[in-house]
Amino acid sequence: MQPYRQRHIDEPLPLQLLSGLILLAGYFCVYQPAEAHLDRLQRSSAELQSRVTFGNQILNRHTVYEHRAEQMRSELAGLQFDADDTTMMATFLNNLDTRLHNHHLELTELTPNHDITASGNATSFTLHLRGNYHELIAFLNELSDMPTLVRLENLSFTSAANDNQAQQNPVLDANINAALVPIQTQGSS
């Protein structure tokens, strides 16, 4: 038996060339394409990672914008509620002025109350009125006929310091704590 090297040299030249060509073909067909494929996979992986990072940035921005949009929606709802309160208060004041004039009562002070937690959704205020007892009672009875629901929370009467008229037609000062309560119609939620 001949050693490998000896046998390889003794082979005819075309067979040696054929062996070399097979080795080169294997290198170019198997190794280089696998290396190129590995490079393409690495580039694709890097590109995919950058796209995932970009997608996460977009999702984060979207979440921030959704949060801002929700804040704006709640602010707009608050503005709508304030506009409804303003309309309700304007209607009430118009009716109040008419009824005070009809009963010859003097409005000495109208003060809004800012304690919202105590009155819930109601707009609370304090009225200071001056007039005789019968006119004040008639005015209070007419509050239930107003188009806006008025909830009386506190009512107190004190005698006005007018001693000359005290015998004939006593004048009283009335302090009324009240609230305008929004009435929900069937169309509102």
User: How far is Cα 105 from Cα 157, in angstroms, rounded to an integer?
Assistant: 14
Place of tokens 């209607």: 91
Domain membership of residue 134 (yes or no) is: yes
Examine residue 135 and state whether it is found in any structural domain, yes or no. yes
Distance of alpha carbon 136 from alpha carbon 157, whole angstroms: 10
Q: Does residue 172 belong to any structural domain of this protein?
A: yes
Residue 155 covered by a domain: yes
pLDDT at residue 120 greater than cutoff 60: no
pLDDT at 188: 47
How many residues belong to the chain? 189
Range 40-69 burial, b when 16+ CB lie within 10 A, else e: eeeeeeeeeeeeeeeeeeeeeeeeeeeeee
Give the domain extent around 176. Answer: 83-181
Most confidently modeled range among 42-56, 61-75, 162-176: 42-56
CA 173 to chain centre: 44
pLDDT, tens digit (0-9, with 9 covering 90-100), for 134-185: 899 999 888 888 877 888 888 998 887 655 555 567 788 999 988 887 765 4
The model carries a pTM of 0.49
Residue 78 lies in a domain: no
In angstroms, the CA 10 to CA 7 distance is 5
Give the pLDDT score at 117. 44
Q: Which residue has the tokens 């003097």?
A: 106
Domain annotation covers residue 97:
yes
Q: What angle (nearest 5°) sits at the alpha carbon of residue 112, between those of residues 184 and 133?
A: 95
* Residue 144 DSSP class: G
CB 143 within 8 A of CB 179: no
Distance CA 157, CA 174 (A): 5
- For residue 167, the model assigns a pLDDT of 59
- Interatomic CA distance for residues 159 and 133, integer angstroms: 10
Domains contained in the chain, number? 1
The C-alpha atoms of residue 38 and residue 34 are separated, in whole angstroms, by 6
Q: Identify the pLDDT of residue 71.
A: 76
The CATH number linked to 89 is 3.30.70.60
